[in-house]
Structure 1
Amino acid sequence: MQLTDLAFLARLDGVAQAELCARGEVSADELFDACMARIDALNPLLRPVVTVARERPRRVNAGPFSGVPFLVKDASAWPGLRWSMGSRLFASNVAQQQTPYGRRLEESGLVCAGKSAMSEFGVLFSTETLLEGVTHNPWDLACSATGSSGGSAVAVAAGLVPLAHASDGGGSIRIPASACGLFGFKPSRGRTVPASFVSSDFGDMTSEHCISRSVRDSALFLSLTEDRSSGSPVGFVRAPIARKLRIATWTRTVMGTEPEPSVRRAYDEAVALLTELGHTVEPIAPPLFDSPVLGDAFFLVSGAAVAGIVERVDQTRDMPVQHDELEPFSWALVEAFLERGPDALLHARSVFAQAVRAYFEATRGYDVVLTPTIATEPWRIGHLSPILGREELLRRTARAIGYTPIHNIAGCPAMSVPLHFPEGGLPIGTHFAAAPGNDALLLGLAYQLEEARPWKDRWPPYSIPALF
């Protein structure tokens, strides 16, 4: 094994790297050193990794991913590593405890190579913070990696790691996966073991998982982190679905607008592919939401989560959280939440309950729901900057993020699949969702789509395989 051949290992998914290690063709130390070399080569340009864990692990557990390097999103604790959550408030914070979720990852043999960039507290759909700076999309350096798991997506797309932990509270796995040409799966609510020390309404909507290049890495990752006491564990889904599906579809966003023409072309191609594979695709009327009210409720819940963080910090030190310790958008969310008074969360929960009823009523009788992942092409850096005004950021977010949040609110499994790679443009993902608990069905469909339209060799220009 020549460590100078950076592209050789970068082209392999996590399962393949683990298999090399198990056969003795490469050691865990060599996998780790090669990962460090790749990070050193491209992280200064793309900036997806905010903390690098340079010390080789003293011990690697025997497991399905034994020796495979990966990244942990900075939203989650990892003992001994800085845990900032993208915020200047926690710039010097170092995690001490391991989470139950993290213990599962360690037991699988995965080796943490560092922490990946995110938006502050994960509440903005672009990875550009006042603490860490901008994370660049490897398909076009002027474009955002989106967010909030932008660092994880960029690191995988660039070949720095084969897979990376990510979390999704409204599309934060699926949207960066779409923007970077990767597979992004969000499990059903409650599917995995806990990954947080605290609880909030926003946390309850958030699913932990990973962003990967291959479906099998994602499926194996889920089997290793799922809560086996939940009654019906998924296990390791290994093969394409064997039956034909009835698929409901629409293109209108929750705000009542249609996607950009390039997104519509990607969607039309996906419909044609599904029909070719024998599935029945039926256009239906999208669920009826009071869109402004639903959007307001979503960001009320986000604001409540940030307000809870501020309150906990205020209780632990003499000086309250200062204005320059949070980004302007985070403060705006907190202020908007506090202005609504003590019934704000009750109101948001009521709005969510109505939206969930409308969604399930519209999709009853269908196996899968198909939409675009985002309504626009990935935006330019600065389009969702945290220093912009709250109202403008909410307006721009509503235009682009019109499909994914309802699945967090409803607890559904959902995924973005990289089926469209326009010549000279950025990838555009296609979105699929199923009823809560039907994670295995979606993964089986993903395998089938991966076979029909392989994407593993689609590398962006600023990636290890493209440059080396």
Structure 2
Amino acid sequence: MHAFPALARKRWRPHVGSLQDGGMKELAVLARLDGVAQAELCARGDVHASELLEACLARIDALNPLLRAVVTTARESSGPAGAGPLSGVPFLVKDSTEWPGLRWSMGSRLFAANVGRRQTPYGKRLEEAGLVCVGKSAMSEMGLLFSTETLLEGATLHPWDLSCSATGSSGGSAVAVAAGLVPLAHANDGGGSLRVPASACGVFGFKPSRGRTVPASFARSDFAAMTSDHCISRSVRDSALFLSLTEDASFGTPVGFVREPVSRRLRIGTWTRTMMGVAPEPDVLRAYEDAVALLVELGHDVVPIAPPRLEGPALSSAFFRVAGAAVAGIVELMDRTREEPVQIEELEPFTWALVEDFQAAGPEALPQARATFSQAVQAYLEATRGYDVVLTPVTSSASWPVGHLSPVLSREVLLRRTARSIGDTPLHNIVGCPAMSVPLHFPEAGVPIGMHFAAAPGADALLLELAYQLEEARPWKDHWAPYSIPARFGGSR
């Protein structure tokens, strides 16, 4: 089921000190392995955790100057890896999340010199699992835009097409996994920030149900409550194991480590127009129709249904008001804890625009946004009642150029372009559903196109079982971006 390239049973000694003697080819072999396979090498004694770290850093050194997916590297191990099931496996933490000893900028000039001091409950679980943090991945400022280009770090480039946006906000994590720099990377998702870049980069992106995992942040806001933390990976099993290691026991019945594909016929409801009423572009529609045909071939009952009855503009406005409230809280905190208030040049124009919009809306802004969300939740649950899974495109367009969602553009332009490009992903954060982007379409030209699947809140296991089935039917592990370690140094595409 989970076939990955076999390595000879011998002590692994990558020549990471130079590109001579086939050293980069050996690094490419490691890059093709998912996290579970790398952990198995460690457990057998075929490779030491320090060698996996050294090889990972060599891969980052080779391609990150071009792609700019990693904004901070941890060159020295913080100590022996935990004895968990992913012991010795290198991974990245999205720069939205505090990690002791590493710069924690959240993509913002306001926090450019900030260093993490505390470990979150989520981070403790990852350390106990044996994962080795090799650095921080790039993001949009505060995770506010569906792009990964900031005035602090510049633009993260797409490994399939350097002229395209890596999307976001977890673009650094998606690019790093798609390029083979790390086998998996932490990401989070407040409105599609994990699923959208996973789709664009041709990797697997799963968003757990709201509350399923232990906290990855000490922040408290409506926006934080909508945000789910997980990982971007190349294999479903990495994602499923990652979820089992970060579950919150107080959520309800644990999912555990889901290992097998779904074994029953599913009733899948589907629509294509976004919550803003935008129809998919032709290449996205072709990918969607191919996914429908695959599901039917696998024996599922796929039923076109009417999308939820939503007031799209009001829902979009409420979503960004909630985001603006979160940022306004950060600005207020900084104003109280330092001698001078936050300066205009310390935040990007779009970030300031959201703060100003929230403040201008008055004290009823948050209650009104919550009421709008409540109506959307009821509409979604009513539209999807009786269906196991919902299928839609992830986005209405397959890609957009670097700069299309630049943070220096006006709020009006950015909101209009976001409404045109982004599908229903924010809706699933509002409802609290588990949802995922599955890399099912790799066109001959252009960037990958993922398909979006969601289930009822709490039905995380069902989605992962479907993901395993889709992975078996349409394996994606050997699809490598042109600007990836295996494609550049290992002779594969």
| 2:382 maps to 1:361 | yes
Q: Distance in 2 between matches of 1:230 and 1:158?
A: 34
| Structure 2 contact 104–115 (Cα < 8 Å) conserved | yes
List gaps (5 residues or longer) in structure 2: 1-11, 15-22
| 2:270 maps to 1:249 | yes
Q: Distance in 2 between matches of 1:56 and 1:407?
A: 37
Deviation at 1:378, TM superposition (A): 1.5
Q: Distance in 1 between matches of 2:184 and 2:337?
A: 36
| Structure 2 contact 13–47 (Cα < 8 Å) conserved | no
| 2:461 maps to 1:422 | no
| 2:343 maps to 1:322 | yes
Q: Distance in 1 between matches of 2:476 and 2:185?
A: 18
Q: Could you say which residue in structure 2 is the equivalent of 1:70?
A: 91
Q: Distance in 1 between matches of 2:258 and 2:227?
A: 22
Q: 1:405 aligns with which of 426, 430, 447?
A: 426
Deviation at 1:6, TM superposition (A): 1.4
Deviation at 1:403, TM superposition (A): 1.3
Which amino acid is the alignment partner of residue 196 of structure 1?
S
Q: Distance in 2 between matches of 1:70 and 1:295?
A: 33
Q: Could you say which residue in structure 1 is the equivalent of 2:18?
A: none
What SS does the corresponding residue of 2:80 show, helix, strand or coil?
coil
Which amino acid is the alignment partner of residue 349 of structure 1?
R
Q: Distance in 2 between matches of 1:197 and 1:189?
A: 16
What SS does the corresponding residue of 2:87 show, helix, strand or coil?
coil
Q: Could you say which residue in structure 2 is the equivalent of 1:6?
A: 27
Q: Could you say which residue in structure 2 is the equivalent of 1:442?
A: 463
Q: Distance in 2 between matches of 1:253 and 1:193?
A: 31
Q: Could you say which residue in structure 2 is the equivalent of 1:157?
A: 178
Which amino acid is the alignment partner of residue 307 of structure 1?
A
What SS does the corresponding residue of 1:447 show, helix, strand or coil?
helix
Deviation at 1:228, TM superposition (A): 1.6
Q: Could you say which residue in structure 2 is the equivalent of 1:214?
A: 235
Deviation at 1:425, TM superposition (A): 1.2
Deviation at 1:402, TM superposition (A): 2.1
| Structure 2 contact 391–451 (Cα < 8 Å) conserved | yes
Q: 1:85 aligns with which of 106, 111, 129?
A: 106
Q: 2:135 aligns with which of 114, 118, 128?
A: 114
The residue correspondences of 1:152-301 to structure 2 (distance < 5 A) are: 152-301=173-322
Q: 2:410 aligns with which of 389, 401, 405?
A: 389
TM-score normalised per structure 1:
1.00
Deviation at 1:216, TM superposition (A): 0.2
Structure 1, 251-260 or 429-438: larger mean CA deviation:
251-260
Identity within the alignment, %: 75
Which amino acid is the alignment partner of residue 267 of structure 2?
R
Off by >6 Å, runs of 4+ in structure 1: none
Deviation at 1:199, TM superposition (A): 0.5
Q: Distance in 1 between matches of 2:273 and 2:73?
A: 41
What SS does the corresponding residue of 2:249 show, helix, strand or coil?
coil
Q: Distance in 1 between matches of 2:98 and 2:344?
A: 25
Which amino acid is the alignment partner of residue 351 of structure 1?
T
What SS does the corresponding residue of 1:319 show, helix, strand or coil?
coil
Deviation at 1:230, TM superposition (A): 1.9
Deviation at 1:398, TM superposition (A): 0.4
What SS does the corresponding residue of 2:251 show, helix, strand or coil?
coil
Deviation at 1:113, TM superposition (A): 0.2
| 2:165 maps to 1:144 | yes
| 2:472 maps to 1:460 | no
Deviation at 1:56, TM superposition (A): 2.3
Q: Could you say which residue in structure 2 is the equivalent of 1:331?
A: 352
Q: 1:20 aligns with which of 31, 36, 41?
A: 41
Q: RMSD value over aligned CA atoms?
A: 0.6
Deviation at 1:41, TM superposition (A): 0.2
Deviation at 1:377, TM superposition (A): 1.4
Q: Distance in 2 between matches of 1:20 and 1:6?
A: 14
Q: Distance in 1 between matches of 2:77 and 2:425?
A: 38
Deviation at 1:138, TM superposition (A): 0.1
Q: Deviations over 1:122-181 (max 9, x none)?
A: 010000000000000000001111000000000000000000000000001100000000
Q: Deviations over 1:248-268 (max 9, x none)?
A: 000011111210000000000
Q: Could you say which residue in structure 1 is the equivalent of 2:326?
A: 305
Q: Distance in 2 between matches of 1:242 and 1:386?
A: 45
Which amino acid is the alignment partner of residue 392 of structure 1?
V
Which amino acid is the alignment partner of residue 437 of structure 1?
G
Deviation at 1:9, TM superposition (A): 0.5
What SS does the corresponding residue of 2:136 show, helix, strand or coil?
strand
Matched positions, count: 468
Deviation at 1:231, TM superposition (A): 2.1
| Structure 2 contact 13–51 (Cα < 8 Å) conserved | no
Deviation at 1:59, TM superposition (A): 1.4
List gaps (5 residues or longer) in structure 1: none
Q: Distance in 2 between matches of 1:384 and 1:356?
A: 28
Q: Could you say which residue in structure 1 is the equivalent of 2:20?
A: none
| 2:80 maps to 1:59 | yes
Q: Distance in 2 between matches of 1:272 and 1:29?
A: 45
